[in-house]
Amino acid sequence: MQATGTWSPPTGTLGRIISETAGRVTALRKDSARLERAAAVAARPQLTLKQALSRPTVGIIAEVKRKSPSKGWIAQGLSAVEQAHAYADGGAAAISVLTEPNHFDGSIEDLVAVIEDIDVPVLKKDFHVDPIQIVEARARGATAVLLIVRALSPLQLKAMIDAAAQYQVETLVEVRDEIELNRALDAGAEIIGINNRDLETLLIDPATSQRLLPRIPSGIVAVAESGISSVADVERLAVLGVDAVLVGSSLSSAPDPEALVRQLGSIRRGHRAP
């Protein structure tokens, strides 16, 4: 947990990836005119992420994930479209597609292919630090994007949420401690993800979700992330009133991802205090 409310640039693994992301942002800016035109005519999703996660059972955001900095290769050569179909057939509320190429082996082509083939909301999972990435997400048809509070200064966070609102792209705003949660709420986040993994050290602490979930108002959609692989994990979070869980590694490596999504998504969720 950060000791004070003063923001400083991230270090460790997250800091390295954010630094590398600057190159991709520069390339996108060179193509900004075309992206703006495409964003202006891109079809809007019929079902929002917030709507999809408003169900009696814990919603499953199922992630297409070939690789990660913490685990290395998880499912080398995984077909994004085939995996997403299995998730959707299993009842996933939404699909998360990683588009970061170097550490996760993702691509924007994966995102586009899934969006074209799947009828559930699709989250663009990446390290978004500049509004041009929001424009790209809209241009490609993404329902929502991930915003990591630790990766963004307070001014950047506000600018990114404002840009998302302008382009009608939802945001999953990810936090890992009380200070970041307060920043997310102050910035107007409507869907908040609690990451049990510290992206700077890559260590997982399951107690993070248990500590922060009761602090999220009932009108905000609460999503737990990282270290979730079993029905028992979902049941523990459901008691605390989680609305959804984002599951990546265990689903991407599962021999029968459709069946696992169905099992994880069968748990009725509890309720948080108003």
Indicate which residues carry an active-site annotation: 63, 65, 125, 174, 195, 225-226
**Residue 207 included in any domain:** yes
**Residue 274 included in any domain:** no
**Residue 18 included in any domain:** no
Task: Check whether 2 has a pLDDT greater than 90.
Answer: no
Residues 228-241: pLDDT tens digits?
999 999 999 999 99
**Residue 76 included in any domain:** yes
Nearest to 200 by CA among 17, 70, 11, 22: 11
Which one-letter DSSP state was computed for residue 148?
E
CATH number (domain holding residue 138): 3.20.20.70
Residues 30-62: pLDDT tens digits?
999 999 999 999 988 889 999 999 999 999 999
Integer-rounded Cα Rg, in Å, for the chain is 17
pLDDT band at 143 (very low <50, low <70, confident <90, very high): very high
Angle between helices 12-30 and 131-140 (to 10 degrees): 70
Residues 75-134: pLDDT tens digits?
999 999 999 999 999 999 999 999 999 999 999 999 999 999 999 999 999 999 999 999
Total structural domains within the chain = 1
**Residue 23 included in any domain:** no
Task: Determine the structural domain holding residue 238 and report its residue range.
Answer: 32-264
**Residue 13 included in any domain:** no
